[in-house]
């Protein structure tokens, strides 16, 4: 998972993993400190907050999105297991001017170790994903793929589909959203967002008022148009004003031009 890249932006990158465990007894503070010491963030910050009993369950209830918002969606048993956690270890790492992904790797390894020591599961609180300690071990041993760390989510709304990301805050960048996407254009919308994710992780940055070209389309970035501003962990940019780059459009691309 080692990957160097250009400085992403002047915005802080932040990673939050929640380790939820059904164990009655928690780890001793010294054990948590030892785990953190094995995975330092030299130029950023790394911390672990411990919550137990009613405090843990209250925090879980307040922070967990609906089961269908997870990628992949959680089944009933899996969701109940999260909500009944006896202990919560909140692992947070931040990097003001990230030069590489060391802060993300450190937080992931701390969460993986804590989960392995407590029979816990790991919730990516920014990208709405759930994984096990074994998943962490596999992740750090293979090439980094940002699409395993960002959720491209599709919601049905009053104006066809709301397609958006969760997790771009990990890379010091606003999330992306597309409003009123027709069903026939969902694949195009997902592909656009995946290309934007890859561009950001490679060192790119997009801001309000800018325009760019991807997948045969030209479009601009505007402030979020989400009905609920709290839907995103941080800021979001809305892709709009779509135009064709060439003279021909597939029906899927033409659907992006509506409105």
pLDDT in tens, 236-247: 999 999 888 876
User: So what's the pLDDT on residue 123?
Assistant: 95
Q: What CA–CA distance (Å, rounded) separates 101 from 41? A: 10
In sequence order, the 6+-apart residues with CB closer than 8 A to the CB of 121 are 19, 20, 21, 81, 82, 115, 130, 131, 132
User: So what's the pLDDT on residue 7?
Assistant: 40
User: So what's the pLDDT on residue 174?
Assistant: 95
Q: Please indicate whether residue 196 or residue 159 has the higher confidence score (pLDDT).
A: 196
Q: What is the mean pLDDT of the chain?
A: 88
Confidence tier at 258 by pLDDT (50, 70, 90): low
Q: 13-140 has which CATH code?
A: 3.30.70
Q: What CA–CA distance (Å, rounded) separates 109 from 37? A: 11
User: So what's the pLDDT on residue 48?
Assistant: 96
Mean local confidence (pLDDT), 3-14: 57
pLDDT digits (tens, 9 = 90+) for 177-199: 999 999 999 999 999 999 999 99
Domain locations in the chain as residue ranges: 13-140, 148-255
Confidence tier at 100 by pLDDT (50, 70, 90): confident
User: So what's the pLDDT on residue 156?
Assistant: 81
pLDDT for residue 5 is more than 60: no
Q: Please indicate whether residue 202 or residue 246 has the higher confidence score (pLDDT).
A: 202
**Tokens 């931040």 sit at which residue?**
94
């Amino acid at each position: 998972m080692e990957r160097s890249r250009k400085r992403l932006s002047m915005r802080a990158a932040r990673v939050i993993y929640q380790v939820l465990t059904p164990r009655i007894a928690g780890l001793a503070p010294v054990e948590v400190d030892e785990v953190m010491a094995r995975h330092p963030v030299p130029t950023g910050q790394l911390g672990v907050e411990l919550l137990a009993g009613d405090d843990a369950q209250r925090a879980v209830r307040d922070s967990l999105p609906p089961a269908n918002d997870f990628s992949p969606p959680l089944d009933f048993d899996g969701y109940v297991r999260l909500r009944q956690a006896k202990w919560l270890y909140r692992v947070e790492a931040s990097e003001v001017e990230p030069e590489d992904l060391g802060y993300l790797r450190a937080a992931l390894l701390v969460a993986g170790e804590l989960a392995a020591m407590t029979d816990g599961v790991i919730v990516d609180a920014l990208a709405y994903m759930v994984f096990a300690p074994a998943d962490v071990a596999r992740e750090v041993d293979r090439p980094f793929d940002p699409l395993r760390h960002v959720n491209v989510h599709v919601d049905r709304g009053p104006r066809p589909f709301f397609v958006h990301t969760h997790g771009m805050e990990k890379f010091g960048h606003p999330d992306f959203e597309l409003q009123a996407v027709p069903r026939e254009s969902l694949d195009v919308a997902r592909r656009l967002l995946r290309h934007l994710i890859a561009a950001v992780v490679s060192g790119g940055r997009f801001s309000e008022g800018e325009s760019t070209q991807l997948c045969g389309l030209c479009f601009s970035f505007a402030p979020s148009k989400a009905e609920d501003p709290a839907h995103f962990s941080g800021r979001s940019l809305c892709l709009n004003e779509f135009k064709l780059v060439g003279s021909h459009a597939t029906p899927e691309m033409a659907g992006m031009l509506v409105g």
